[in-house]
Chains A and B, each alone.
Chain A
Amino acid sequence: MSSTTLVTDTVTVFSRELRPVLRDPFSVVFSMIQPLVFLGLFTPLLPEVEGGSALQWFVPGIVVMSCLFSTSFTGSNLLFEIQTGAHERMLVTPLRRPALIVGRALKEIVPMIVQTAIIVAVCTPFGFDLHLGGVVVGVLILAVMAVGLGALSYTLALASKNTEWLFWTVQQTVLFPLLLLAGILLPVDDGPGWLRALSSANPLTYVVDAQRALFNGEFPASTVLAAVVASVAVAALGLAVGTRAMRRSS
């Protein structure tokens, strides 16, 4: 029997996670309904921005939002596999424990890219000014964040074994403050001090700020660097706690 490495194990887990998505690509398209509804119903309410469409401000936020939604939900797939026995069967294989979390988390990048492409494609005819280079850099940063958020969601699923309500309670409780404090739907710049303080403690804030600049074709070094640092920090934290939880999983 040939030997495996951490990399081949991760590829095995990643491919397995991705396969249902490839078999049924419509699952990704269906997950797009919610962000597109937000776009359709929210954009007309946005005030006119000088020199361009409100979409230019709103689209990057919606991209981050749909990434946040799908990655935070993704743990429920693992939770389901814990309940049915599929997770246990994986645990008995020689797959390395870090690969079990890293492979799953890396898969989050794929739907995120598809979702971003759909949002940008839908919005461009309506006045969104597409700057491809900026979008690509933005997606790269978001990919790192997606891995971190996905890993955290999987960690929550592992911690919620036998207590499904815990997963949903925590996920819902954390999701909306993160969303609102990142200034995705409304800017927080004019908010009270405490709100801005909370916002500056939210790693997503930096990612959203950077996406807005990048999607607009601008590359402000400090903003982009802050987003990279925030994303890497979330990814490192997520993978660290996720690996620890996976090692203890039974």
Chain B
Amino acid sequence: MTGMDSSVVHMNATMIQTTGLTRHFTVKGQRARAPRAARFSKNIVEAVRGLDLRVDEGELVALLGPNGAGKSTTLRMLTTLIPPTSGTAVVAGHDVVAEQREVRRVIGYIGQGNGAALSQRGRDELVSQGRAYGMSVRDSKARAAELIASLDLAAVADRPTSSLSGGQKRRLDIAMGLIHAPRLLFLDEPSTGLDPQNRANLQEHILKLRAEHGTTIVLTTHYLDEADAMAERVIVIDHGAVIADDTPARLKADHAGDRITLGFGSASDAARAAARLGGLDGAVVSTGGVEVEVRAQGGPRLVPGILRGLDAAGIAVESTAVSRPTLDDVFLNLTGRSLREGVVSLSNEEVAA
């Protein structure tokens, strides 16, 4: 087993390697549960399209994308739950189709649902889970006790799971995914449905796991702040393909600038200001009513100059705001759509740079 040998981030052994990984679903009638956004042709939905991915040992990677982008389908292929339609995936040195059991032995998986059956007790499920990985009853019990303590489940571990709160169930899921101290952990939308406090707790646990054991972690999320806060590497997926892959900081630097919002007394002032600001180097300017939005790198340092310039031109600025780019801005600039659910596009006529 792995373990405490190292928490060094840069280990170059490949943990996951996919080549042209593709998954189609056949849509039956109107019962299509396949990703909405995926491309339709002849009742076939291409949920994942030719994914080439490499994850090294020790990395913490977030797959970010809207619902239906193909994140979960990718994870389900990597965890042997569904076979690829074409292409290959090698996980921890084993092919996900030809060597399913070898893959299953070394990975941990925390799915979107709750792993513990409601009729069972948490501790019993943990012991069963340990047994499923070939641990002895004694080891399973010891490991269960350890995880129950570290995930703060002592008060509820011997109650039927049905009586646990959402946050408690999720912590139990984490415990089950960790029972065999996997070298590679997959988490599918780990914090969906949790309140902010439980989300923060969960993130803390995941980061701790990483720090203490050097576990390779791949998670999917549609929470931007989660990907931003946790992952060193964000892979943005849309329509079943990778559209960007870098650190959150680099993604934002490359694909979205800071956003400077200036408020004016009238729309004509705003229009005049926009016309002046158009000359700013590398900036994208858009107008909406009495507001002008400027997108540029190094926003906070630009503001004083902008204000002086507008003042000199006799245009009174009534308010200013500078916001740092989010991963949503990255996604928006890459696809023209917002990542936020239900939001198709922003209200202003902003055009991607």
Which of B104, B125, B132 is most buried by chain A, counting CB atoms within 10 A of its CB? B132
Interface size for A (C-beta < 8 A) is 30
Q: Which residue of B lies closest to A16 (CB)?
A: B128
Chain A residues in 8 Å Cβ range of B82: 250
Q: Which of A4, A8, A77, A85 has a CB less than 8 Å from the CB of B113?
A: A85
With a cutoff of 8 Å between Cβ atoms, the chain A residues found around residue B114 in the complex are 84-86
Tell me which of A4, A83, A250 contacts B81 (CB under 8 A).
A250
Set B1, B105, B115, B121: member contacting A94, Cβ < 8 A: B105
Q: Are B135 and A89 in contact (CB under 8 A)?
A: no
Contacts of B117 in A (CB 8 A): 20, 80-81, 84, 86
A2 at interface, CB cutoff 8 A: yes
Beta-carbon nearest neighbor of A99 in chain B: B132
Does B273 sit at the interface, judged by CB under 8 A? no
A77 with B109: CB separation less than 8 A: no
- Chain A, residues 1-45, CB within 8 Å of chain B (1/0): the string is 111100011001001100110010000000000000000000000
B128 surroundings in chain A (CB, below 8 A): 12, 15-16, 19
A88 contacts which chain B residues (CB < 8 A)? 81, 111, 113, 115
Known A84-B118, A86-B115: A93·B132 in contact at CB below 8 Å: yes
- Is A200 among interface residues, defined by CB-CB distance under 8 A? no
Given A84-B113, A88-B111: A93 touches B104 (CB 8 Å cut-off): yes
Asked if A124 is at the interface (CB within 8 A of a chain B CB), the reply is no
A110 to B: closest C-beta gap in Å? 15
Q: How far is the CA of A47 from the CA of B128 in the complex (A)?
A: 51
Question: In the bound complex, what is the Cα–Cα distance between A4 and B125 (angstroms)?
Answer: 18
Q: Which of B1-51 contact A (CB under 8 A)?
A: 1, 33
Report the separation of the CA atoms of residues A60 and B101 in the bound assembly, to the nearest whole angstrom. Answer: 44
A85 and B112 within 8 A (CB): yes
Size category of the binding interface on chain B? 35 or more
* Complex interface: chain A residues within 8 A of B107 (CB): 92
Give the CA-CA distance A8 to B119 in the complex, in Å. 23
Please tell me if the beta carbons of A93 and B115 are within 8 angstroms of each other in the complex: no
Complex interface: chain B residues within 8 A of A16 (CB): 120, 124-125, 128, 131
* Nearest-CB residue, chain A, relative to B33: A162
Give the contacting residue for A12; candidates B76, B120, B132, B173; CB below 8 A.
Answer: B132
Considering the chains assembled together, what is the distance between the CA atoms of A250 and B47 in angstroms?
A: 16
Which residue on chain A has the smallest CB distance to residue B136? A2
User: Which residues of the partner chain B approach A80 to less than 8 Å between Cβ atoms?
Assistant: 117-119
Q: A95 at the A/B interface (Cβ < 8 Å)?
A: yes
| A91 adjacent to chain B (CB < 8 Å) | yes
Asked if A90 CB lies within 8 Å of chain B CBs, one says yes
Closest CB in chain B relative to A246 CB, distance in Å: 13
- The reply to whether A20 and B132 contact each other, CB–CB distance below 8 Å, is no
Which residue of chain B is the closest to A89 with respect to CB atoms? B115
Q: Given known contacts A1-B1, A94-B101, A250-B81, is B119 in contact with A89 (CB within 8 Å)? A: no
Scoring B residues 125 to 164 as 1 if CB is less than 8 Å from chain A, else 0, what string do you get? Answer: 1001101111110000000000000000000000000000
B233 at the interface (CB under 8 A from A): no
Q: What are 30 A-B pairs with beta-carbon distances under 8 A?
A: A1-B133, A4-B134, A12-B132, A15-B128, A16-B120, A16-B125, A16-B131, A20-B119, A80-B119, A83-B113, A84-B113, A84-B114, A85-B113, A86-B118, A88-B81, A88-B111, A88-B113, A89-B109, A89-B111, A89-B113, A89-B173, A89-B176, A90-B132, A92-B107, A92-B111, A93-B104, A93-B133, A94-B132, A94-B133, A95-B132
Footprint of B on A, CB under 8 Å?
Answer: 1-4, 8-9, 12, 15-16, 19-20, 23, 77, 80-81, 83-86, 88-96, 162, 250
B interface residue numbers (CB < 8 A to A):
1, 33, 76, 79-82, 101, 104-105, 107, 109, 111-121, 124-125, 128-129, 131-136, 173, 176, 180
